[in-house]
Every structure is written in structure tokens, then in C-alpha cells.
Structure 1
Amino acid sequence: MLAMENYRLFLALLVFAFAVGFVSVVFVVRWVLHFREGLGWDGGAAEFNWHPLLVVIGFIFLQGIAIVVYRLPWTWKCSKLMMKFIHAGLNVLAFILAAISLVAVFDFHNTQNIPNMYSLHSWVGLTAVILYSLQIVLGIGIYLLPISPVHLRAVFMPIHVYSGLFIFTSVIAAALMGITEKLIFGLKDPKYKDSPPEATFVNVLGLLISVFGGLILWIATRPSWKRPNEQLLRSQLNSADTAMSERPDLEPNSDTRGKNGKM
């Protein structure tokens, strides 16, 4: 493995981030199955529950993994093309789950005669989905297809990185607004302001999502944890291979041992 500055700190934060993200997924599963009506696809409340579940799993947890996948030092020996496919695959999967979650919430609203796109949560959320789709299309077109010129890739890279972090932050903001909105409208007796068990449980879920987002953003913005450029990686790998090939064989061969025994 190539050396990384503050590797132990990176590993600790990465494990903690993934653990918090996994616990967030467990919390949202517990919320929809225990406190809400479960899961279904009949236009009722059970269909709506797919929305928070798939958003947390795909749009938050998987997207967070996709953001930091380049920074995993044990993948630095993998080709850049392979990492591009992994990064793009995780983002495409996250987008598919987010799209299904939108279908579920719109179908629920239409079945229950609830207006669509009236809240700030819906505005921010739909904007994030649209920007995310553009991010994926442009990313695949510029970085995966071999037809794009090198200078275009270099110019677009800062925009690609910034927009990815901006979308991820917007998704977390929309999720926090959404779960608060759901608690205010969904809790009747006792009400949200009375802090029933469901309200406390989901508030903890919101804190977990915030912590996960903060950890991912911290890991993704540390310059010392950035994947080295390909020329540096190749030179270091070649140097390591050369050192191994030039390493003297300290173990005497069988002929030498035989001669020494006869002497």
C-alpha cells in the first residue's frame, strides 16, 4: 500500500463514518417498519415509506461512499478506469433508488389528493435529483467516454468535485427538512411538540445523518488524503517493483549449501 499522511486518522474517521451511515439505515428501517405502516405499493402510507427509506440508503449512504471511494488508499493500485466505473456505478445506483423514492411519494400524493411541490423540502429535494442526474450524465460523458479531450476534463474537474459535494449537502438538508415535516404532519396524539418516542427516535436519525454527512465532507476535502496523480502512482509502484527485483537473495541455494557441507 502506498503511504498516506495520517493514515490512522483517515482509517478511524472512515470506519466511524461508515458505521454511522449504516446505523442511519438501520434507524430508517426501524422507523418505517415499527413506528409507521411498513412498506407497500398501494398508494397508501406504506408506499410513502419507500421515500425516506430509499433516500437514506441510496441518496445519502451510497452517494457518501461514492464520494470517498477514490480516497481509499488500498484502491490506489487499481487502475483509474476501474475506479471511475466503481464511482459511476455507485452514483447510478444511488440515482435509481432516489428516482424510485420520488415515484413513491408522487404516487402517494396523487392517490391521497395531496398537493405536490408545495414545501421547501420538495423544492430542494427535486432540485438535488435534477442536478444529480446532470452530474452523472456529464461525468460519464466527460470522464468515461474516450472522446472528450484532456483539457476539457481538467477544466471540468473542479466543477465536478464542487457540484458533487454541493448536491450531497443539499440532499442531507432536504432529508432533515423532510423527516421534520413528516413528524409535524404525521404525529397527532401525542403531537410532535410533546416529544413522543417516535419523535425522539427520528430526531436521533436526523443527527446521525448530519454526522455522516459531516464526516464524508471532511474526508473528501482533506488535500493530504487525495488520490495521487497517475504519474506519481506509476513511478512509486515501479520503484517498489524495482526494489523488490534488485533485492539480494540472502538465502543460499542448494548447490552452495551442498558445497559448504562437503568442505
Structure 2
Amino acid sequence: MPIGVEWPAIGSALVSAGAPLLRNRLLAALAQSDFDNLRPHLTLVGLVDDQTLFGPGEVIEHVYFVEQGVVSLVADTGADDLGIEVGMIGREGMAGVASVISDRPIAFHHTRVQMPGSALRMPVACFRRLLGSVPALRERCLCYLDAFVIQIAQTGACNGRHHLPERCACWLLAACDRAEGPEMPLTHDTLSAALGVRRSGITTTIGALQEAGFIRSGRGKTVVLDHAGLERAACGCYRLVRNQFDRLLACP
């Protein structure tokens, strides 16, 4: 997708009268009458950089419909205390997706904020009840769950088979989609944590992408300058996963 072009907003549900359109695609896809059933149970909360929403073994008590920012699903590797990202969540989806199929979901991975923003939070008990009473919510969340499972599987394959420069370009493209623009609050430490590699490897890779003219990075920010060029530098995983999200989140 060209720089600056957002994922399409669907529907016209509002958080409250006179409020701006919802950013979250799952909620924005609902009819106003359906969203009215959810509204009393939603609380707008901030997402702070490096905040952990839930960790391995913890009962998931809330779901988070991301409005702005990026949340990562990070798996422990058991090697040198380095984790690695296996899933990325932005305004296309929700954190706590296990709640779609479980009354008492327990986190298996770390769910951590990679880029700050905001989310609409709902208690799992309310969410589970609404899945039964609002069919459109259930259908949208099941479509998202399908897409998210595809993303996790493809990310695992990508982490195991592709080289760091390709993976880094792929990650930057996916983050750019969710940042709603070319500029992202990203440091080398953030990328190191997401990709599960040493900071020195990120520094070398970012330097090469800058030299090619695809990005500009510095002072805690990364700007995508050439989206098409960055996609050529990435592995095919970015486009494969992106196409599946577009297909599944367009479901009725």
C-alpha cells in the first residue's frame, strides 16, 4: 500500500455522539445498533511504550481493541533471554484474541506495547457475553482470529528461514501500515527486541536500508521514504500476510 494510505475504515459506528470515527477496524465494521451494545463496556486507555498487557501464564482479564499504536506478541526463546515477536497487532485487531474461543483465556506469550498509542478495553466476561448476543461481533472477531493465526504461522516461518535484512524490511512495512503514516517512533532497541537479534545487527541493517534510500532513522524515529523499494528489499511474507488480512477483514 502506498505511503500515507490507510487501511480502509469500514462502517460508521461512533464511540459517542459527535466523536470521531473509530480507528479500530473490528469495531468500526459494526452497525451503529450493534456498537451501542458494546459502548457501555468499553474504556479508552493509553498504551505506554514497553508496557506488558499480559504475560505467560496470566489469566487474560481484558481485551484491547487497538485504536493507535502497535502491540506485539513476543515468544520466549530460552536463549540469552532474547524473545522474538511472533505476532503484531494494530488498529486492524485486538489483543487478547484467545478470548474469542475461551471463557477463561490464559496468555502463552508476552503481549507488549512496541509503539505507544491507545486502545478501547473491555472485560473478558463482557466480551464473551457480547459474542453470543451480537452475531456481527462474533463473525468479525472469528475472521480476525483466522488472519492472526495465519500471521503467527508465517512469522514463525519467516523467523526461521529469512535473513535479517529481509525480516527487518518486512517488519517496518507491517509497522508502517499500522502507524497510519511513514513516520514511526522506533528505536534500534525496539527493533532488536521485536526481531530477537542483537542491537549491533539492527544497526548494520538499518544503515544499509538508509544507504539504499528506503528509510531515514534517527533520534528515536524511523521514516519510510520509499515504500515500494522497501517492499522489494523485504521477503514475500509481508505481502502474503497483508493480503490475507485484507481478504479476511473484508468478510461480511
Give the TM-score taking structure 2 as reference length: 0.29
User: Which has the larger Rg?
Assistant: 1
The structure whose residues are more often helix, as a share, is: 1
